[in-house]
Structure 1
Amino acid sequence: MIIPKRYAEALFQLAKEREKINEITQSFNQLIERLRSNEEVFKLLSYPVVDIAEKKQVADELTADLEQEIRDYLKVLIDNKRTDELAEIHDTFLDLVRTEENRTLCEVKTPIPLDEDELKKIQDLLAQMSEGEVEIETTTDESIIGGIVVRIGDRVFDYSLKGQLNSLREQLKKTTITS
């Protein structure tokens, strides 16, 4: 985690210095999306046996329409054999951007997708709790049966039926039955 954090911090400082946080963030997001949608390209960029010049050529084609800073940054990662850590670097970079912009990432997990009204109500409630702007990332997980699980940073609020059942199970294990 230390090395990806250093790379993320370096890119973030560059973005701040050039006053291009939004543009670089958007380009970085696009790069990550492209790599996620094309696993073969990601493997090629990460595979140590592939020639660095070939990797850079692929990187140029992949990032031709992105910010120059991201194009150069990817080449630095290739030179330093760090492309396999790109996802972690990206996540850390986004955390730095959120902190700079006083935004909080809230991960919301529900058993079924939320509609716009439900999402808005949850966002408003979480904004009150976090004292700032909230960015919500939603996922669905049928295993929680019902309710909601919210993660804000390292805090987890489990209001799911599965969580309540697990809690009840633990309480029952601790309880001794006497006759």
Structure 2
Amino acid sequence: MTTARAIELRTFTMLDAVRGDLIDVYAEVRAPLLHLPNYAVTAFGERLDRHGAEPGFVAVLAYVEGHPVGYGYGNTIAHGDRYWQRICPAPTEIYTECPALALKEGGVCRAWRGTGTARRIHDGLLAAREEPYVTLMVNPAAGDGKVHALYQSWGYKDIGQSQPSPASPLLTVMIRPIH
């Protein structure tokens, strides 16, 4: 059995330092979906480049013996950001009036699922953040609903739906306090 104790977490604030590892682990995590336009490696690379250039970018990767086995990244979103504007129904002002951390992507390789690795990456992303809230979008069908349920168990609550691009599925938007 794989254990999370063997994992080394590394935090990055500059995309150039970690872009290759992010793409490699993304391709492994999302392998069954790569034939779909929204999940193609090229589409991910385009999103990654855009997100990496946005304010407050941070990525946390989990490594085992130098090989990335999981990742998560996000950035700061401010009042009026298009992230908030695409949510239906519109979120309450309490969430959007201050900057928030938007977790944009994350995943763990199959062999490391169920070991606490995802939670360690998540908590690493939040550790030094000053924003009052963290938000994310999840495909409600991911893992037959298990991913959505996992986020609920971490304290996230549903606040609406969003379809960030025409190729994207309809996603559930979730939020929780950071601290």
Q: TM-score, normalised by structure 1?
A: 0.25
Q: TM-score, normalised by structure 2?
A: 0.25
Q: Which has the larger radius of gyration?
A: 1
More helix by share: 1
Tell me: higher relative CO, structure 1 or 2? Use CA pairs within 8 A at least 6 residues apart: 2
More strand by share: 2
